[in-house]
Amino acid sequence: MRRRDLLTAALTLPLAAPLVLRSARAEPMEPLDAAVAPSLPPLKISPALRARLITLMRQHGRGNADFDPARRPYAVFDWDNTSIMNDCEETLFLTLIERFAFRLPPAEFAQALRAGVPEGPFAASYRNAAGAPVAFADLAADIDADYAALAAAYGTPAREEKRADLAKDERLQSLKAKLFFTYNAITDTFGDLVGDGWMVGFLAGGTPEDLQALARLNNDETLGRAMAEITFTSPRGRPGKAGVVSQTHLDGLRLTPEIACIQHALMAAGIDVFVVSASCEEVVKVFACDPRYGYGLPEAHVYGIRMQRRDGKMDWRPAQDWPITWGPGKVQAIRRTMVDARGFGPLIVFGDSDGDFNMLSEFQETALGVIVNRVKGGGIGELSRKAAEQMGAPAPRFMLQGRNENTGEWRPSAQTLKLGQQAETLVRA
């Protein structure tokens, strides 16, 4: 996933309800007849990657003499921009704002807005329309005012019969532009880990079922829209303290049938499949587990950011007894569940960004790290260059899988077509 330090202040707060760790222990499974070869439809999987995956299924899956049905090998997948195209939580953030589907009262919203945001200026590129730097305190004051006014006028969440008026309300346009501006400024200044933990707090206030209903609606609506960059600009007649700001959002979601086929081929071969995401766990489960989307994974195999519970509802504070599942936090989650239960790390890991760098590279048992190629720099860029150097090797440790960002589909190649471009690229120069 795209992903963004731990919400230190928030994590010192008491846990509202005890957390029960779900076991990642393997259920017994009958061995497969050694004569039955693993199967994986080609679809748009890179032929080299498909061949490597089939080899690993043959070497480590059912039918192998060393296969232990009670301690099965396993694969770990990131979700956003790996198992799907784009980010289900970022697109949900837009739906949350446009429908004003928030459930937090203004005072709690103001707490969530400020939680875990470090002091200090934003990156120099985050300026208003007048070219002046924008301070977080000014953005927060403007967002508070917009949110309180909208909550008083429409309710939290907004009443359905008020949606036509809501869509035309300048306060909503201001809220949308300034929330996205703040999210991107926090992420690009302080890192994805801070940004991820910050965004998830706004999903709180209702029951897990309330949130999952909204996530399902967002998935269904956003899957039908074109992949496109859209820009939000706050109204000039409502500058507030921060001034007029603009921010761009990548809209649209796409299913990745190749990932679903790989996951089910692995499971058929006796290799368990887990998801570890930097999005809210309940949100990812809607996509990963609801059969309507084609993945159909077990809920107990999906991990993400967890929130505290209060009176049956989700609190805006992250769970104290669980890591923020980005970067090193993903490795912590894997060790606390899968490694503790089975005694070894993942055989295969799929990821796309710096948030996946640690789990792609830190387990000595991992035979293959697959990078969905977004032509990125940073740590994931280093692994991508290693994958490029290993192309053609008989057993590469890292491999690239290309995609067409204009359509959101995979390509049967390691190269990627970036959004708005027609020239394929292997790695960032």
Q: What angle do CA 129, 150, 90 make, to 5 degrees?
A: 65
Q: Same domain for 263 and 246? A: no
CATH number of the domain bearing residue 138: 1.20.1440.320
Average pLDDT over residues 141-165: 96
Question: Which residue among 251, 268, 301 closes a domain?
Answer: 251
| 4: confidence class by pLDDT, cuts 50, 70, 90 | very low
Pairing mode of beta strands 254-255, 302-305: unpaired
Please identify which residue in the block is written with the tokens 């090998």: 73
Q: Same domain for 370 and 268? A: yes
Q: In this structure, is residue 2 part of a structural domain?
A: no
Report d(CA 46, CA 255) in Å as an integer.
17
Q: Same domain for 157 and 271? A: no
pLDDT at 28: 59
pLDDT at 44: 98
Q: In this structure, is residue 192 part of a structural domain?
A: yes
Residue 133 phi/psi, 5-degree rounding, is -60, 150
| 37: confidence class by pLDDT, cuts 50, 70, 90 | confident
Count of structural domains within the chain: 2
Q: Same domain for 198 and 270? A: no
Q: In this structure, is residue 316 part of a structural domain?
A: yes
Question: Which residue among 219, 251, 283 closes a domain?
Answer: 251
Average pLDDT over residues 258-286: 97
Report d(CA 189, CA 121) in Å as an integer.
8
Average pLDDT over residues 337-355: 97
Q: Same domain for 70 and 180? A: no
pTM: 0.90
Q: Same domain for 206 and 105? A: yes
Q: Same domain for 408 and 332? A: yes
3-state secondary structure of 326: coil
pLDDT at 21: 43
Token pair belonging to 13: 């707060």
Q: In this structure, is residue 3 part of a structural domain?
A: no
Q: In this structure, is residue 14 part of a structural domain?
A: yes
CA-wise closest residue to 2 among 86, 104, 60, 91: 86
Q: Same domain for 66 and 194? A: no
CATH number of the domain bearing residue 355: 3.40.50.1000
Pairing mode of beta strands 302-305, 409-410: unpaired
Q: Same domain for 206 and 260? A: no
Question: Which residue among 251, 276, 307 closes a domain?
Answer: 251
Element at 392 (helix H, strand E)? none
Residue 13 is classified by DSSP as S
pLDDT at 24: 74
Share of the chain above pLDDT 70, in %: 92
Q: Same domain for 195 and 328? A: no
Instruction: Tell me which residue range forms the domain holding 205.
Output: 89-251
CA 111 to chain centre: 23
Report d(CA 371, CA 398) in Å as an integer.
7
| pLDDT tens sequence across 193-212 | 999 999 999 999 999 999 99
